[in-house]
Chains A and B, each alone.
Chain A
Amino acid sequence: DTGVSQNPRHKITKRGQNVTFRCDPISEHNRLYWYRQTLGQGPEFLTYFQNEAQLEKSRLLSDRFSAERPKGSFSTLEIQRTEQGDSAMYLCASSPDRAEEGYTFGSGTRLTVV
């Protein structure tokens, strides 16, 4: 296990379609986070899991967005009825319970909605 893995790396979809991204965290990390990053901006928090429990969701996460981590391992982020404004880099990160360890990020999934 060499790090956080995200798939796919790139996704181009037509407006209105549904998309799903996957994140495989570092295996011993209990915490998993999703962030969204638009061009030239810092990452914005979307949601956070402690094991399989989704503990926090940002108001950025509209009802078209849903995230799961069913077995406390990998996570999926689904966007329904995509809009052009959803075009962004979606970053996943994981961490142990101790805050001082910081986060380990994946390479991200770049979504383009046309």
Chain B
Amino acid sequence: AQSVAQPEDQVNVAEGNPLTVKCTYSVSGNPYLFWYVQYPNRGLQFLLKYITGDNLVKGSYGFEAEFNKSQTSFHLKKPSALVSDSALYFCAVSDLYGQNFVFGPGTRLSVLP
């Protein structure tokens, strides 16, 4: 069965500084990995995904994520954080067939002005 861990409940970063939100996963076979963002009282918005190919994937709003197979990680990054990036971020993993889509517990990102 798939599982996802987000080891940090909360990440605080100053505006303009780089940010990293960590994610590790466990899945049998090749993983399909996703990041979603959730603003208050809203549904989840897709940020980016890794299916195959380059380990560094670029997504919406200047976010990128690095897939590391040996460390089973898929950390979300952004070179320069904005206050408007403050939200709840979820990492998710799916199997090949997309029928088992499992979310991590979420990491709350606070970008301080």
Q: Which chain A residues have a beta carbon within 8 Å of chain B's beta carbons?
A: 4, 6, 31, 33, 40-45, 48, 55-56, 91, 93, 95, 97-108, 110
Contacts and interface: CB of A to CB of B under 8 A. Distances in A.
Contact of B94 (A4, A55, A99, A107): A99
A106 B44 CA distance: 7
B98 A108 contact: no
Contacts, number: 60
Interface in B82-113: 90, 94-99, 101-106
Interface stretch (B13-21, B45-53, B64-72): B45-53
Given A42-B90, A110-B41, A103 B104 contact: no
B98 A31 contact: yes
Contacts of B90: 42-43
Contacts of B102: 45
User: Closest 4 A-B residue pairs measured CB to CB?
Assistant: A99-B98, A42-B103, A105-B43, A100-B51
B74 interface: no
B107 to A, nearest CB: 10
Contacts of B104: 42
B32 A33 contact: no
Interface size class of B (residues with CB under 8 A): 20 to 34
A98 B104 CA distance: 22
25 contacts: A4-B43, A31-B98, A41-B106, A42-B104, A42-B106, A43-B90, A44-B103, A45-B101, A45-B102, A56-B99, A97-B98, A98-B98, A99-B94, A99-B95, A99-B99, A100-B32, A100-B49, A102-B32, A102-B46, A102-B94, A103-B34, A103-B46, A107-B42, A107-B43, A108-B41
A99 B96 contact: yes
B108 to A, nearest CB: 8
Contact of B43 (A40, A42, A98, A106): A106
